[in-house]
Copies of this chain bind each other. A is one copy, B any other.
């Protein structure tokens, strides 16, 4: 049994967090985590579909796997699968890094009997903007892409863990659909459903979508819930620090009167005096400087806080914030937080959500980032601002709301030692 792992997408909706495959929540990149799930599910042979930009990194990560390149990214998933056409000769699972599920569920999808294929289906209680499966009599009839909320044919959302006994037939349909528009893959699938017997396997374990950057918070919450608390003997924890239900790795430091709850402090991570970290991940060598409050947030490697409130937010690597800078995470009217992804304004469907800051960016003292703001990579935001709109990458962002390009920072910058 083999798997095609589609890793060529542009991660457009995941910005400013870079290539989704290389987002690192825990020890390993997302793509590594997904490969581990596939391996655990019994898929020994994995073919990865890369793009020109991430091929080298993927090759380095997975020297023993077949890695093919999808040349035209405009052809989407359809093009991605066709890039691996030559491998599609025996039973195959097609998947991506857009969804995280349990290995046991993947196994179930791949071992379904008496059918031509199986599709993982997520039962949703409230509307989710995805593809819905129309089922009946133990088989899937069709797939309806993004129906109106009141016109969903079922509560079953298509999750891309798709198993095909005869992937050659899929290839045939994909080739027919490939010169069509964006959803050629779904079209091909629909054709296949008419001709073959595909069954929906309902997911009965966790499901984490990873489409938008705030989905990282769901992923983190799920990971923290599963973690077994463990404090390394090589961590330096002050006597007066309080550490509850948390993992603290080698070389991490928790200073006096700090409080860490339900969190993960990775290698070399620091929680300063009088700081509170709850339900959060502090990545390698990141510093939560004194007097900070980090709640339900992900702080990337080498990022640096000091006297900040960071709530329900995601900071990529080597981000720093000046004293008094706040990531607001609740609207005054307490409605769901809105954001702008690409050009499109949308709801995050979260009542608490702060901001997302791309790598190497800096925020000045006493600046307020409004809920839902996305800040690009390598940007500087000056002090004392209220930032209500997204900040594009490579920007020097001032009170006049004008922007100009800045030179890249040497990253990570040298910083004074802590005491």
Contact = CB atoms under 8 A, between A and B. Distances in A.
User: Secondary structure at chain A's binding surface: helix, strand, loop or mixed?
Assistant: loop
A384 interface: yes
A366 interface: yes
A35 B330 CA distance: 42
A274 B326 CA distance: 17
Contacts of A364: 328, 332, 368
Interface stretch (A38-46, A143-151, A256-264): A256-264
Given A322-B330, A380-B332, A366 B365 contact: no
Contact of A274 (B276, B324, B386, B399): B276
A368 B365 contact: yes
A284 interface: no
Interface string A312-355: 00000000001110101010111000000000000000011000
Contact of A352 (B382, B399, B416): B416
Contact of A259 (B256, B309, B324, B414): B256
B326 A419 contact: no
Interface string A264-275: 000000000110
A279 B419 contact: yes
Contacts of A256: 242, 259
A21 interface: no
A305 interface: no
B383 A384 contact: no
A324 B419 contact: no
A309 B309 contact: no
B333 A261 contact: no
Interface of A: 240, 242, 256-257, 259, 261-262, 273-274, 276, 278-279, 290-291, 293, 306-307, 309, 311, 322-324, 326, 328, 330, 332-334, 351-352, 362, 364-368, 370, 380, 382-386, 399, 406, 409, 413-414, 416, 419
Given A259-B273, A326-B365, A366-B368, 19 more contacts: A240-B240, A240-B242, A257-B274, A273-B276, A274-B274, A278-B419, A293-B307, A306-B309, A309-B323, A309-B324, A309-B365, A322-B328, A323-B328, A324-B366, A334-B414, A364-B368, A368-B383, A368-B384, A384-B384
